[in-house]
Amino acid sequence: MPHLFRILVPDVYLENIYSIDTAKLKEKKNIKGIILDLDNTIVPWGTNNLDDRVLQWIEQVKQNGVKVCLVSNTHKNISDIGHKLAIPFLYSRYKPRRKPFREAMKIMNTNNKETAVVGDQIFTDIWGGNRLQLLTILVCPLSRSDSLGTTIISRVLEGFLLSILFRNGKIELTKGKWPN
């Protein structure tokens, strides 16, 4: 596969954040910190409707001894949500640039072998994470709405890319808990 493609392929593709078993992520993959996307990963785009399930999941992650840092390219709602979840947050960043990922690792005090990225977008979350050889976890977006820029630039290309990857067996949607 051409290099450009490889850097856009996540290590795993899951239905949502709840599929991630963070106890096993730590035990089997030695992951100690998660760089977590905001829009369409933990809240539907443009809202701050934080489901109780997200709060419970974050609580579980913390109890498992895994750190979390929110990193968003936008700024809306993030401080509210960061405070509610009691986790650090970085906003107005430019994923897939490496800088925000490095900043988050510095905050969590983890290195690239101990850090996972979780997000719904290949061209920001996955690309950026792969550039630093982090463990990359793609999740299905929570809603179909996106910022105008995202819709035009990313989603069409992303849909196209995903269809190629699926067709060539380079990616598959893993159902249920992961890792198992």
Site residues (vs Mg ion, CB under 5 A):
37, 39-40, 120-121
Nearest to residue 112, comparing CAs of 129, 100, 90? 129
Nearer to Mg ion, 32 or 95 (CB): 95
CB 75 within 8 A of CB 89: no
Q: How far is the CB of 124 from Mg ion (least distance, A)?
A: 7
Q: How far is the CB of 105 from Mg ion (least distance, A)?
A: 19
Beta bridge partners of 12: 137
Residues 149-172 as b/e (b if ≥16 CB within 10 A, e otherwise) read ebeeebbeebeebbeebeeeeebe
Cα 123 to Cα 114: distance, rounded to the nearest angstrom? 22
Nearer to Mg ion, 114 or 146 (CB): 146
Nearer to Mg ion, 26 or 119 (CB): 119
Query: HSE (CB half, 13 Å, CA atoms) of 122?
Result: 24
A 10 A CB-CB count for 65 gives 10
Nearer to Mg ion, 120 or 158 (CB): 120
Q: How far is the CB of 2 from Mg ion (least distance, A)?
A: 25
Assess whether the previous peptide bond of 179 is cis (omega < 30° from 0).
yes
Q: How far is the CB of 41 from Mg ion (least distance, A)?
A: 5
Q: How far is the CB of 26 from Mg ion (least distance, A)?
A: 24
Nearer to Mg ion, 26 or 37 (CB): 37
